[in-house]
Amino acid sequence: MDYLPIFVLVFSFVFFLSIGTPVAWSISIASLLTMLVSIPLLPSVTTVSQRMGTGLDSFALLAIPFFILSGQLMNKGGIAHRLIAFAKTLVGALPGGLALINVIGAMLMGAIAGSAMASASAMGSILGPEMEKEGYSKEFGAAVNITSSTLGLVIPPSNVLIVYSLASGGVSIAALFLAGYIPGILTGLFLMVLAYFWAKKKKYKLGEKSSLKNVVKTFFAALPSLLLLIIVIGGIVAGVFTATEASAVAVLYTLILGFVYKEIRTRDLPKILLESSMTTAVVMLLIGASMSMSWVMSYENIPQDITTSLLSISDNKIIILLIINLLLLFVGIFMDMTPAVLIFTPIFLPVVTKLGIDPVHFGIIMVLNLSIGLCTPPVGSVLFVGVGVAKTTIQKVIKPLIPLFLVMIFALLLVTYIPALSMWLPQLFNL
Alpha-carbon span 38 to 4, nearest angstrom: 10
Q: Tens digit of pLDDT for each residue in 70-108?
A: 877 877 777 767 877 787 787 767 777 788 888 887 787
Percent of the chain with pLDDT strictly greater than 90: 18
Q: Residue 298: how many CB atoms within 10 A of its CB?
A: 13
Res. 206: pLDDT tops 70: no
pTM of the model: 0.85
Res. 401: pLDDT tops 80: yes
pLDDT-derived band of residue 254, with 50, 70 and 90 as boundaries?
Answer: confident
Helices 116-133, 63-76: crossing angle, 10 deg rounding? 20
Q: Tens digit of pLDDT for each residue in 256-271?
A: 888 888 888 888 889 8
Give the number of C-alpha atoms closer than 13 A to the C-alpha of residue 92, restricted to the C-beta side: 21
Write the CB contacts of 396 (distance below 8 Å, at least 6 apart in sequence).
138, 139
